[in-house]
């Protein structure tokens, strides 16, 4: 499977990515190919029509896609966070209603936790779900909803009381009366991670039926805890993206350093550049091993909070560092759109920010270390 993806990336993604990325165009044909590979069902169980990949294989899929173009990993990731919430915490009816069409890619999902005033401090979210008879009425603004426009279902975190947050499955497919009270209030123009949409979504008296509550009545007040646990796999995925981008930056640097000559020899023969390549390769190798280790722990059913946080912290910082080092090795050419490095340099910082910034990872790691020490 990874070999097939590698061929797809080399043949269809790398030669074409600049054409879509710079103009921020959605890569329909590439996404169709992801669908044909079954990747919209990558981590969804086989019983629901998915591939049922384990965390280790999924991490390698994400790494390979990100070596080609990090945005392709983004197309499937928030979809699969939404699917994972349904599969792990949904009722039988919710699983049967949503998962098969999500696994085939016919229905797209997204994950909506962040708001304009709450990102790292996600529990401070303000979006409200108020009961009104048998229905719920949603009001609030959600920020940074990746895949939000194309998604037909949103895993939405909203406050059901002052001290409780619940997760709702919002059917965004237009009904006979249109989209109800949901609107895309802003398209966010981004430095990198282009080609797929990240939007602000507003809810104004949007009505949901009672069965939209994830997990049914038992899910009331559980949403935040569930979302955090889904983000553990999300962190391994972001770390794997970091490895993919770092690999692409390294590959570009290796090729260029052997080709470009100064002072009568390829720049790779200058010790300063050779040392850079050695350090880049070492960090890349370490990042990959950390992702592999965290994913294996998840697959073995072991606790992986510290390891997933460490992998995310190290791999994302490595991606940003290697993108800059690769740009240095490319000299002036690295600063042009003729070479892929400038895109990697623009894409890499997202991994430092998304699904918990590096500062938040350090908090997660240190808290978990202290908890383990106490145990
Ligand atoms: C392109 C993109 C796509 C995204 N997609 C999604 C999505 O699909 N769904 C979704 O729900 N969210 C999404 N996000 C949101 C993302 O998860 C948040 O941006 C991220 O968690 C950081 O939150 P923030 O932007 O509010 O930064 P803030 O929380 O305002 O942080 C600002 C700075 O303060 C630091 N900081 C904050 N608190 C502390 C602390 N206690 N100690 C030390 N430092 C601290 C942070 O590390 C950071 O450096 C996306 C973001 C981006 C940029």
Residues with CB under 6 Å of ligand 1 are: 78, 111-114, 119-120, 144-146, 190, 193, 198, 350, 353-357, 359-360
Say if residue 99's pLDDT is above 80: yes
Q: Measuring CA to CA, which residue among 169, 145, 25 is closest to residue 77? A: 145
The residue nearest atom 23 of ligand 1, judged by CA position, is 119
The residue nearest atom 45 of ligand 1, judged by CA position, is 359
Query: How confident is residue 98, by pLDDT bands cut at 50, 70 and 90?
Result: very high
Same fold flag, 2-104 and 109-221: no
The residue nearest atom 32 of ligand 1, judged by CA position, is 120
| CATH fold for the domain made of 225-374 | Butyryl-CoA Dehydrogenase, subunit A; domain 3 (1.20.140)
Which of ligand 1's atoms lies nearest the C-alpha of 193?
Answer: 1
Ligand 1 centre from 10 Cα, in Å? 32
Give CA–CA dist 261/263, Å, rounded. Answer: 7
List of long-range contacts for 197-200, beta carbons under 8 Å, 24+ apart: 197/26, 197/146, 197/147, 197/148, 197/149, 197/150, 198/144, 198/145, 198/146, 198/148, 199/145, 199/148, 199/149, 200/116, 200/141, 200/142, 200/143, 200/144, 200/145
Say if residue 119's pLDDT is above 70: yes
Burial class (CB in 10 A: 0-12, 13-18, 19+), 275: exposed
The percentage of residues in the chain with a pLDDT greater than 90, rounded to a whole number, is 94
Query: Both tokens of residue 168?
Result: 């709702």
The catalytic position among 115, 200, 232, 355 is 355
pLDDT in tens, 292-332: 999 999 999 998 989 999 999 999 999 999 999 999 999 99
What's the confidence (pLDDT) of residue 169? 98
pLDDT in tens, 172-207: 876 655 668 999 999 999 999 999 999 999 999 999
Which of ligand 1's atoms lies nearest the C-alpha of 157?
Answer: 11
Give CA–CA dist 234/319, Å, rounded. Answer: 17
Query: Both tokens of residue 14?
Result: 């790398």
pLDDT in tens, 57-81: 999 999 999 999 999 999 999 999 9
Give CA–CA dist 203/199, Å, rounded. Answer: 13
What's the confidence (pLDDT) of residue 178? 60
Which of ligand 1's atoms lies nearest the C-alpha of 113?
Answer: 11
Domain residue ranges of the chain, discontinuous segments joined by +:
2-104, 109-221, 225-374
Ligand 1 centre from 357 Cα, in Å? 6
Ligand 1 centre from 117 Cα, in Å? 10
Please give the mean pLDDT across all residues of the chain.
96
Ligand 1 centre from 148 Cα, in Å? 17
The residue nearest atom 25 of ligand 1, judged by CA position, is 119
Q: Which CATH number fits domain 2-104: 1.10.1380.10, 1.25.40.20, 1.10.240.10, 1.10.540.10?
A: 1.10.540.10
What's the confidence (pLDDT) of residue 319? 98
With tokens 């043949």, the residue in question is: 11
| CATH fold for the domain made of 109-221 | Butyryl-CoA Dehydrogenase, subunit A; domain 2 (2.40.110)
What's the confidence (pLDDT) of residue 39? 98
Q: Measuring CA to CA, which residue among 1, 2, 94 is closest to residue 48? A: 94
The residue nearest atom 16 of ligand 1, judged by CA position, is 354
Q: Is 355 in the active site? A: yes
What's the confidence (pLDDT) of residue 180? 81
Ligand 1 centre from 367 Cα, in Å? 19
């Amino acid at each position: 499977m990874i070999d097939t993806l590698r061929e797809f990336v080399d043949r269809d993604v790398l030669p074409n990515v600049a054409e879509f990325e710079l103009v921020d165009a959605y890569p329909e044909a590439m996404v169709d190919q992801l669908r044909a590979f079954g990747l919209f069902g990558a981590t969804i169980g086989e019983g629901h029509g998915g591939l049922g990949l384990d965390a280790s294989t999924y991490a390698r899929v994400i790494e390979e896609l990100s070596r080609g173009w990090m945005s392709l990993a983004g197309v499937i990731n928030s979809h699969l966070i939404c699917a994972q919430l349904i599969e792990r915490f949904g009722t039988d009816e919710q699983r049967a209603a949503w998962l098969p069409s999500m696994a085939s890619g016919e229905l797209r999902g997204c994950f909506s936790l962040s708001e304009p005033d709450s990102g790292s401090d996600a529990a401070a979210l303000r979006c409200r779900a108020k009961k009104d008879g048998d229905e719920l009425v949603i009001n609030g603004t959600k920020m940074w909803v990746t895949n939000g426009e194309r998604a037909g279902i949103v895993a939405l975190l909203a406050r059901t009381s002052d001290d409780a947050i619940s997760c709702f499955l919002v059917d965004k497919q237009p009904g006979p009366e249109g989209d109800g009270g949901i609107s895309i209030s802003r398209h966010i123009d981004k430095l990198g991670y282009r080609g797929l949409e990240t939007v602000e979504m507003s809810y104004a008296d949007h009505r949901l039926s009672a069965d939209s509550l994830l997990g049914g009545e038992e899910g009331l007040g559980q949403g935040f805890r569930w979302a955090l646990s889904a983000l553990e796999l999300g962190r391994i995925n972001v770390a794997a993206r970091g490895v993919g981008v770092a690999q692409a930056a390294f590959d570009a640097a290796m090729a260029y350093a052997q080709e470009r000559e100064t002072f009568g020899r390829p720049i790779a023969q200058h010790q300063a550049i050779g040392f850079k390549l050695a350090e880049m390769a070492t960090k890349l190798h370490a990042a990959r091993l950390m992702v592999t280790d965290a994913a294996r722990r998840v697959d073995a059913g072991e606790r992986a909070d510290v390891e997933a946080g460490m992998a995310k912290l190290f791999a994302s910082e490595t991606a940003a560092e290697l993108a800059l080092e690769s740009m240095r090795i490319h000299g002036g050419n690295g600063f042009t759109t003729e070479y892929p490095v400038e895109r990697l340099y623009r894409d890499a910082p997202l991994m430092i920010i998304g699904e918990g910034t590096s500062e938040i990872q350090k908090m997660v790691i240190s808290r978990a270390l202290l908890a383990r020490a106490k145990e």
